[in-house]
Structure 1
Amino acid sequence: MRVLGQKLRSRAKELGLSNAEVARRAGLSERRYGFYVTGDREPDLSTLLRVCKVLATTPNILLGVSDDGKEGSIRAALVERLRMASRALSDNDLQSLVVQAEALVTHRGRVK
């Protein structure tokens, strides 16, 4: 999977992370993660999801299923990141986030 390796390198570079740091944060050995970066091996689904979490992206983008260079897919990736982050929030925190998002939408509507 050369596409996966290229996407892993590219995304880590965007975030200023080394392969070693991505591996550590994903709970992988540097060697194992290196196999994914070089395209010598493919991660299983649970490993891919852990790497996606570290790189704040989606499996579709890393696997080249969606083109992350287009406006729509960037938006989709951001929405997915927000959705993933919301899972870790308490109900009260999530409610606060929704109120903040709605306030931003209302403010932007008035600015135009």
Structure 2
Amino acid sequence: MELFATNLRRRAEELGFSNAEVARRAGLSERRYGNYVSGRREPDLATLVRISSVLATTPTDLLTTSLEKIVPEQLARQRTIAALAVLRSDDLERVAVMVEALATERR
């Protein structure tokens, strides 16, 4: 359980998420998520999948080897993916327009 708890803490830190933010995005109470982060409990499979999605990683990565350091470009992409997961469709449309404008400017 300690490896899982360590991986949760490390991944949230990489993405700049507080425990409260991960819990909110995964639809969990802060107390319940705190039990996972502290290593007191392990989530069921459905909860593990939700947490993995919020943290833009896989259940396997959270449960097995320690997550490796990620290069800044990969981390920025993963942070973006994690943030997109909680946006409504109208907000996603705005983000798509902004990203397309940035990409066009860079060409």
Aligned to 2:28: 28
Aligned to 1:69: 68
Q: Following superposition of structure 1 onto structure 2, how do residues 1-112 of structure 1 map, counting pairs within 5 Å?
A: 1-64=1-64, 66=65, 68-69=67-68
AA aligned opposite 1:33: Y
Distance 1:8 1:43 in 2: 12
AA aligned opposite 1:6: T
**Normalised by the size of structure 2, how large is the TM-score?**
0.62
Distance 1:25 1:4 in 2: 19
**Normalised by the size of structure 1, how large is the TM-score?**
0.59
Q: Percent identity?
A: 63
- CA RMSD in angstroms comes to 2.4
> C-alpha deviations, 1:18-59, integer Å up to 9, x for none?
000000000000000000000100100000000000000001
Secondary structure, in 3 states, of the residue corresponding to 2:9?
helix
Runs of 4+ in 1 over 3 A off after TM superposition: none
Gaps of 5+ in 2: 71-77, 86-107
2:11–2:67 CA contact under 8 A, matched in 1 = no
Q: CA deviation at 1:67?
A: 5.5
Q: Which has the higher contact order (CA 8 A, sep 6+)?
A: 2
Gaps of 5+ in 1: 72-77, 86-112
Aligned to 2:91: none
Q: CA deviation at 1:68?
A: 3.7
The number of residues matched between the two structures is 74
